[in-house]
Amino acid sequence: MSPPPPGVVLPPVDLTFVGLAPSASGGPTTVPSVASGFVRIRPMAAGSDAPWNFVCGDPWAGFDAAAANIVCRQAGFSAGGDIVRTWISGAMPPMLLGKLTCTGSEASLNQCAVSGLAGKVDYWQLNAPATASAGVCTTLAGVRCRDAAQSKTVNLRVATAPPPSNQTAGSTVIARLEASIGNGTYGAVCRDKGFDNSSATVSKTVNLRVATAPPPSNQTAGSTVIARLEASIGNGTYGAVCRDKGFDNSSATVVCRSLGFPAGGSVYLEGKVNAGDTLNDAAAAGGPVDAQGSYLGTLATLRCSGSEGGVQGCAAWRSTRTADVVPCRAAAWVACKTGASAPAALTSSH
């Protein structure tokens, strides 16, 4: 059989998670798992009788934080997940052997590129036998997906007791925090190590929506929806999302996922689109850059790695009061990939 060409994407694959446990025969047996475990894939075209493939977890094989998030989202966990690598002694099970290259914006693992890697494998292959992986791969890739509760909206409120919660002291309001996950019952917010002044600033919900003007915002162009972004902090008044330096394709991908487009998206410019473009670059490319001060921003300096479950997890300056809004030198626009269809309501709370 001829080796596959280098740098191509995987074929569409089914995906499942399993654990490994000792069997009566002394060898390991697989145990089905739902939200965590070793990753197994098989080509959809091969049918249900095709063998499952584990995935090499060695760092050289490219199963990184981006891949873990993609796998979990493909399995239905919109908030992504974390890598778990496990060293395996003895012969490896059949596996995908090759180097994965994922950006983090893919909707499924089969959209990642896969190739050989000099010094490891000459070409990638599915169902690689133990003889091929021996001395090349020593760990299996696994994930721990963030559960449904972690991907739901977090609603905060100020507790009415005990004093001085909900009381004004000079120019500040004292608050004991309570939280509801996914519109469930409210309970206390714990002050663990790591809850600091930064946590207090970002705790309010960020609601995103697509502006209805100016054109082409909220219009479909081919397989994308063009959107100028607006944000409300803590259910306050909506204002612009500013396109500062640092608002790149990773940020745009998280924004698009927050709006209901799991395939993500990119910064929208009428000319070229490049992560890291400056505002001057945007203007030169003929993009929808607004005159200085034409929009007042409630969300600025938004910076995301691309792996966050929503904009709530991204670093940003948030305006919680009308007096704190800032003039945007340019408004943030994105082009979200629609996939099969666009969602009916282009709003989100994350």
Quote the tokens at residue 296: 């007042």
pLDDT at 145 (0 to 100): 85
- Which H helix or E strand runs over 33? strand 28-33
For strand 206-210 and strand 187-188, is the pairing parallel, antiparallel, or unpaired?
unpaired
- Provide the CA 221 distance to its chain's centre, in angstroms: 24
Compute CA distances 129 → 35, 58, 134, 256, whole Å.
27, 16, 9, 40
C-beta of residue 61 within 8 angstroms of C-beta of residue 100: yes
At 317-327, the pLDDT tens digits run 787 666 667 77
Q: What are the structural domains of the chain?
A: 8-148 (3.10.250.10), 154-203 (no CATH), 205-349 (3.10.250.10)
At 185-244, the pLDDT tens digits run 777 777 654 455 444 544 567 888 888 877 788 888 778 888 888 888 877 888 888 887
Q: Please spell the DSSP secondary structure of 273-330, one letter per residue.
A: --TT--HHHHHHTT--PPPTTSEEEEEEEEE--S--SSGGGSEEEE--SGGG-EEESS
Alpha helices in 187-241 (DSSP H): 197-202
- Provide the CA 105 distance to its chain's centre, in angstroms: 7
Quote the tokens at residue 331: 């408004």
Start-to-end C-alpha separation, the chain: 48
At 67-87, the pLDDT tens digits run 998 998 888 887 788 888 888
Peptide bond into 93 cis (omega under 30): no
Q: Can you tell me the distance from the alpha carbon of 115 to that of 347, in angstroms, rounded to the nearest whole number?
A: 38
pLDDT at 175 (0 to 100): 79
- Which H helix or E strand runs over 196? none
pLDDT at 204 (0 to 100): 63
Across 279-292, average pLDDT? 49
C-beta of residue 304 within 8 angstroms of C-beta of residue 286: no
| Residue closest to 147 by CA, chosen among 79, 234, 220, 194 | 79
pLDDT at 95 (0 to 100): 92
16 strand-pairing partners: 40
At 89-103, the pLDDT tens digits run 788 899 999 999 988
pLDDT at 39 (0 to 100): 92
- Which H helix or E strand runs over 54? strand 53-55
C-beta of residue 305 within 8 angstroms of C-beta of residue 287: no
